Structure formats: C-alpha cells, structure tokens
Amino acid sequence: MPGFELFGDLERKEVNDVLDNGVLMRYGFDGMRKGHWKAKELEAELSDTFNTNHVQLVSSGTAAVSVALASAGVGAGDEVIMPTFTFVASFEAILMLGAIPVLVDIDDTLTLDPEAVEAAITVKTKAVMIVQMCGSMGDLNALQAICSKHNLLFVEDACQAIGGTYEGKPLGSIGDLGCFSFDFVKTITCGEGGAVITNNEAFYQNADHYSDHGHDHVGNDRGAETHPFLGYNFRISELNAAVGLAQVRRLPEFIAIQKKNYTILREAIARIPGVTFRRVPKGGEESYAFLNFFLPDLEVARSVSEAFKTNGVDTCFHYYDNNWHYIRKWDHLKEQKSLYPLSKAIKTALTELQNKRFPQSDHFIGRNISCLVKLSWTEAEVRERAFKMASLIKAAI
C-alpha cells in the first residue's frame, strides 16, 4: 500500500485507451467511445473480487459511505453508530445526509466494540457502521448479530482493508452494504474513486440512480432518461476507472508483497517484552497493509513514535495525537464548526459529544503504533527497517 508505487504499463494502457477514444465521462456518448466502458469493466472485476452481486463506482470513499447509507434510506434524524477511531470522512458522510453520527468505543481489534454498540442503540438508531481501519476487522459475527436483533443496517467501511477476509469472505461483502476507497494512497488506486457493493438489488438500483442526479439509466438516450427520485453527482470518470481497472487485476500481487513485508517487520518486534499486536478475530486475515502493535503505555508509545521520526522510520503513526483519525482532535466536529446551519438534532448530539470521554478507546489508541507497509520496498530495505524499529523500541521500553 499504496498501489501507485507500482504504476506501470498496464495502467498506461488502460488510460491511453480512454484518451484515444476521447470519452472521459462514464455515461453516454455511446457512438464516440467505440466500445470502451472502463467503469463498467471495473465494476465487473470488483464484483468478482468481492464475490458480490452488485457494484456501483462513485467519486470517492466518502461518497461511497453517503451513497450506501442514502440507498438504504438513512437520512435526517437517523442515528448511525460508528467508531471513535476512523478518518473524518466517516462522520462527514453521515452528516451530509442530515443523519447523526453516534461515536462509540473501540476494542483491541481497533474497531467497534460490540458491547459499546449494543449500549448505544436507541429508537433513532438506523445503522451500525464498522470501519475496518488499517487493514483488519472487528468481531463481525457479533456485530451482525446485534444488527439482526435490533433490525439495523450493517454497513462495512472497508476503505482501508481491501484484500482482507473474514471466514473466507472478502471484507466489505459481509454486511448489507460495503464501501471502498480508491484514492491515491490506497492499496489499489484510481487516483480518486470509491465503490458501494451489495447483494441487495434495491439498494444497488438506488445507489446507481442516486449517484448520478437520479438518472434511471434506462435506454440509450441519456437525455430521455427519467428521474425516479432526487439524486446528486458522485460519478467516477473513465480516466479514474481506467487506472483502477489495471490496479484491481494486480491486487493478488499487491497483497502478496504486503504480506511478505508485514511478516518481516512483525517477526522483528514480536519477541520484544511489552510489545503486543492488535487482535484479529478468529477466521479473519488482514490485508497486511499496516502493522499495528501496542506498547506498554502512552508515554512509551509517544517515545517510540518520536524515535521513529527522528531516525527516519517513516510511515508509522501514533494516532492518539493525530488530527484526522481519532476523536481527541476532532474539535471542529465537537464545536459544530459548519459553514451551513445544522439541524437541532445534530447540534444536540454534537454538544453532548464535547464532554464525552472514551477511556477504553484512549487505552488502545494511546498505546498503538500503526505502520503502513509499502509495496516498493526491497527486501533489504524491509530488513534494515525491521532491525531499526526493533532497536528503537527496545531502547524506549
């Protein structure tokens, strides 16, 4: 991760196909494009990759979450349970629909704690959204059981976890809807892009129409299409889809490289007293895009993080002090710094969030270091990095 590190002839060929026919828009212009439909081809490839019936490409992972929720009827005043550890896009996508993000604690999987989810359910809860952060998953069976018990939507944000599996199923394909990001720093990239996947025909049709101004996509005359309901513009372009088409065909190659590099790094620090690793639920396999480990306490984690930075060990993150991925620094959310007026229900929920504490999440994120695994490292570079990481951790502990 990320896939742009290994751009090559396959990506250039797909992009040049689009430039040669001159049609950059994914819909319409049938005669001009001479049979080239990169977005449609990518959706078919992703359907096979995720073993799912329906795929709708969109403009970003953030758009994917909003489109997924909207396609299932989530909107104004509905509560969506989500984790304290994620990217800000998770709550942005919820707020865009007028829905209310309800943040709950994570556990040692670094995503939703099922007990915290159960405790947060109210009569307004419409969906539970797990975010498969840093290449791995939470207790999906337990979370799915909770959703079934309370008749809630189960949504998987697998934007950082393409290639991971649970009980033999691709992450993203287990819930009612799955969401992916193909932005520039993901394992497979379109430059910008995302996808909604589902086995629910109605949700797919809604996502297909909603993401393109409500177009029903019936017939061959775009101007004659009807609009069964309101929609917006979350389309991907043919150029972006072309890059992704080449990249998704290389996903097994990328996962194999990530696993090899991940394993070298993990083995180097596994025997250090005081180092433990995130829990991967039984039956789960990470995508190996990140190596996540815990240190004894917050102070040691901060010390190791600083030592990594000082000594050139890049791509490692201590999210406790990060502005973008953990609730501690989301002051713009808590203080309702919005360019447009927010609903009374959202304002009330965010006001309550100002004084809410998450000691369990602090316990795990405060001690966690997350290291992105690059595809372009040579084996010698990985081993050198592994030795340096182990030495710096031992010195800090």
**pLDDT of res. 333:** 98
Rounded CA-CA distance 389/384 in Å is 9
End-to-end CA distance of the chain: 29
Angle at 308 between CA 83 and CA 105, to 5 degrees: 15
pLDDT in tens, 182-198: 999 999 999 999 999 99
pLDDT in tens, 261-274: 999 999 999 999 99
Q: Are 156 and 284 in contact (CB under 8 A)?
A: no
- Tell me the average pLDDT of the chain: 97
276, 330: one domain:
yes
Taking residues 120-134, report their average pLDDT.
Answer: 98
pLDDT in tens, 346-390: 999 999 999 999 999 999 999 999 999 999 999 999 999 999 999
Query: What confidence tier does 345 reach under pLDDT thresholds 50, 70, 90?
Result: very high
104, 148: one domain:
yes
Beta strands in 60-184 (DSSP E): 79-83, 100-104, 125-131, 153-157, 165-166, 169-170, 177-181
Domain boundary among the residues 250, 277, 303 is at: 250
Q: Are 161 and 136 in contact (CB under 8 A)?
A: yes
Find the DSSP H helices in 218-297.
238-248, 251-269
**pLDDT of res. 282:** 97
82, 224: one domain:
yes
**pLDDT of res. 236:** 98
What crossing angle do the helices spanning 61-71 and 201-210 adopt, rounded to 10°? Answer: 120
**pLDDT of res. 327:** 98
Q: How many domains does the chain have?
A: 2
**pLDDT of res. 338:** 97
Query: What confidence tier does 48 reach under pLDDT thresholds 50, 70, 90?
Result: very high
283, 229: one domain:
no
194, 301: one domain:
no
224, 337: one domain:
no
Q: Whose structure tokens read 């797990």?
A: 130
Question: Smallest Cα–Cα separation from 186: which of 205, 161, 211?
Answer: 161
Q: Which domain, by its residues, includes 309? A: 252-396
**pLDDT of res. 176:** 98
Contact partners, residue 95, CB within 8 Å, separation at least 6: 101, 342, 346
3-class SS of residue 1:
coil
62, 191: one domain:
yes
**pLDDT of res. 55:** 98
Q: Look up residue 71 and give its two tokens.
A: 């396609």
Query: What confidence tier does 394 reach under pLDDT thresholds 50, 70, 90?
Result: very high
Contact partners, residue 243, CB within 8 Å, separation at least 6: 11, 14, 15, 189, 190, 191
Domain boundary among the residues 194, 218, 250 is at: 250
Query: What confidence tier does 22 reach under pLDDT thresholds 50, 70, 90?
Result: very high
Q: How many residues does the chain have?
A: 397
Q: Is the dihedral of CA 11, 17, 19, 22 positive or negative?
A: negative
**pLDDT of res. 43:** 98
92, 240: one domain:
yes
**pLDDT of res. 84:** 98
Q: List Cα–Cα distances, 2 to 189, 237, 251, 314, in angstroms.
A: 7, 20, 11, 14
Cβ burial of 294 (10 Å; 0-12, 13-18, 19+) is buried
**Other beta carbons less than 10 A from residue 309's beta carbon:** 12
169, 232: one domain:
yes
pLDDT in tens, 233-280: 999 999 999 999 999 999 999 999 999 999 999 999 999 999 999 999
